[in-house]
Amino acid sequence: MSLFLTVTNVGYTFGRRGSILLGDLLVMVGGAIQAASYSVAQIIVARVIVGLGIGLISATVPTYMSETTIDKKERGPQVAIQAIYLINGVALAYWIDFGMVQLNSQASWRFPISLQSLFTLISFVIMLCLTDTPRWYYSRGRIEEGDQVLARLHAKPVEHEDVQQQRQEILDTIALENAEGQIRFADWFWDRSELQSARRIRTSFIILSLQQFMGKA
C-alpha cells in the first residue's frame, strides 16, 4: 500500500507525463548500470532502480491513456491494448534471452539487460513531444492548459459543446473526489465511502497478486 501511495503522490505532483518520463529515466539509468555491472551489489542496486521505474510506468501509462481518450467506450479497449503490448514485451524478452543462451561470452546477459534501455529511450523521446492530460491540468488548477489540451483531443474549438461537456464532467468528478477526502487507513479493509476508491484499488491488487501466483512458463 505504501508503494501505491508513493506512486500516487508522484503522479499527482509531476503529472502523468512527468511520471512516465521519470520512470523511463530510471529504467535507462538502472539498465545501463546493470549492463555494466561487475558485482552482485551493483546488479541489486540497479535492479531496484529499474523496478521503481517500471512501477511508475506500469501504474501511469494506463491512466494516461484513459485520460486522453475522449470516447468513454474506447477507454477500456485502450487499456487492454496496453496490456497486450506489455505481454508481448515479456514474450519478446524471453525469446531474446533464449537466442543469447548459446553464447559463451558476457554479451549473453549484458546485451539482453541493456536492451530495455532502448525501448525506454524511445518512450522518453516520444513523451517529450506530448502534453499532460486535461484531468491533471484541471486538478492542479491550470484550467486554461486543460482546456487547450481537451480541445486538441477533440479537434474542436474550446467553445464546442462536446469539449465543454467533457470539461464539466471532469471538473465535477474532481470536485466529488475532493469532497470525499483522502483514503483513510481503515478504508483499505472496509470502504464505506460513496466512491469506493479503496475497494477498487484493493480489488486490483488482489487480481494482480493472483496473476503472479499463476507463474511463468
pLDDT tens digit sequence for 66-79: 889 888 788 888 87
The three cell numbers locating residue 83: 496490456
Give the predicted TM-score (pTM) of the model: 0.81
Residue 202 C-beta-side C-alpha neighbours within 13 Å: 12
15-24, 58-67, 69-78, 121-130, range with the lowest pLDDT: 69-78
d(CA 30, CA 113): 10
DSSP state at residue 161: H
Residue 217 has pLDDT above 50, yes or no: no
Q: What is the pLDDT confidence band of residue 165, given thresholds at 50, 70 and 90?
A: very high
- Return the higher-pLDDT residue of 7 and 21: 21
Please state the rounded mean pLDDT for residues 186-211: 69
Question: Residue 167: phi, psi to the nearest 5?
Answer: -55, -45
Per-residue pLDDT at 181:
63
- Return the higher-pLDDT residue of 189 and 127: 127
Residue with the three cell numbers 508481448? 88
79: Cβ–Cβ under 8 A, 6 or more apart, which residues? 62, 65, 66
Sign, CA dihedral 46-210-123-15, equals: negative
Residue 153 has pLDDT above 50, yes or no: yes
d(CA 134, CA 127): 15
Alpha helices in the chain (DSSP H): 2-35, 40-67, 72-100, 107-128, 134-139, 143-154, 161-180, 197-213
Q: What is the pLDDT confidence band of residue 215, given thresholds at 50, 70 and 90?
A: low
